[in-house]
Amino acid sequence: MYAHIDEIFNSIQGEGPYVGVRQIFVRFFKCQLHCAYCDTPNSRIAGGQCRIERTPGKNDFYDIANPVRGEDLEDLIRSLWSPSTKHISFTGGEPLIHADFIRSLDLEFPLYLETNSGFPEKARELKDKIAIASCDIKLPEHNSTDHYSELLKNELETISIFNETAETFVKIIVLPETTKESISMAVEGIASIDRDIPLILQPVTQKRKVAPILLLGLMDFAAEKLKYVRSIPQTHKMIGIL
Ligand code: SF4
C-alpha cells in the first residue's frame, strides 16, 4: 500500500507523559480539521515530496516522491532506529486517515499514535496494532470544525475504543481564552469512559501566554472528575529540536 507522508525523522517526544522519549516520527499528510493554533499547517494538504532525515539531529534531509510504499517506509524506519529509540510515532496531519496503510505495515517496534480522535471507525480498525494512543480533544475556541458536537462525540468514542486495548491518554490544548465551561463537556466525557484516563492540559505555544492562575484553576476543575490531571508544555521547541 501507499500513503502521502510529509516527513520521517528520529527525535525526542516533546509533548505529553512520554516527553523526553526518543521516537521515530512519521508525519502523514492530510487532516480534516483546521485548528487555529495548528503548528503543522503544511501537513494538512498532501504534498508531492516526503522529506527523510539522513542523520538524526543534523537537519540533513533528502526528498523522495509521494506516495510512499509501505515496504519502503518499513526500511526507512529500520535505518533510523537507534539504541535509545522506543516507539514509532504516527503523527500528522491526521494519521487515522491512513489507518489501512498503518495496519498493513509489518514492524517489530511499538506504535505510538498521535490523533485528533475524529475517526472512531478507523480507530476500531487499528486499535490492536497501537501500544500507546495520544488522543486530542478539541475545544470550541480552537475553531477546528464547524460541527463541534459531532467532533466531540467522535473524539470520545475514539478514546473509548483505544482505552480498551492501548495505553491511552487525552491531550487538550489550553488557549488564553479557555474557560472551565469550555472544557467541561470534554472532562465529563472522559470521566464517563474511565476516570483513570490521564488528562494532559497543554498550554498553547504562542506569543499569547496562558495565565498561570487559569491553568491551575483548570487543573483543579478537571481533577474533580478525573484522577490524573497534569499540565505539560511542548518541550521540543525549548531545546530547538524537531
Ligand atoms: S488536528 Fe492537528 S494537524 Fe489537524 S489542524 Fe488540528 S493541530 Fe493541525
pLDDT in tens, 46-101: 889 999 999 998 989 999 999 999 999 999 999 999 999 999 999 999 999 999 99
The SS3 assignment for 226 reads: coil
Atom of ligand 1 at shortest range from CA of 92: 3
Atom of ligand 1 at shortest range from CA of 136: 1
The tally of domains found in the chain comes to: 1
For a substitution probing ligand 1, which of 39, 144, 148, 174 has the most ligand atoms within 8 Å of its CB?
144
Residue 89 lies in a domain: yes
Q: Which residues pair with 200 in a beta bridge?
A: 171, 230
The SS3 assignment for 54 reads: strand
Residue from 177, 168, 183, 167 nearest 219 by CA: 183
Residues near ligand 1 (Cβ within 6 A): 31, 33-35, 38, 40, 44, 92-94, 116, 144
Question: What is the structure's pLDDT at 45?
Answer: 86
* Helix 212-223 × helix 180-193 angle, to 10°: 30
Residue 144 lies in a domain: yes
- pLDDT band for 12, please (50, 70, 90 cuts): very high
Separation of 83 CA from ligand 1 center, angstroms?
31
CATH number, domain of 131, equals 3.20.20.70
Tell me the mean pLDDT in the region 18-43. 94
Residue 100 lies in a domain: yes
| Residue-range definition of the domain harbouring residue 115 | 2-231
Instruction: Give per-residue pLDDT as tens, 167-185.
Output: 999 999 999 999 999 999 9
Atom of ligand 1 at shortest range from CA of 41: 8
Residue 101 lies in a domain: yes
Residue 239 lies in a domain: no
Query: Is pLDDT above 80 for 239?
Result: no
Residue 65 gets the label, from left (phi > 0), alpha (psi -120 to 50) or beta, of beta
Residue 196 lies in a domain: yes
CB–CB of 215/176 below 8 Å?
no
For a substitution probing ligand 1, which of 7, 31, 115, 170 has the most ligand atoms within 8 Å of its CB?
31
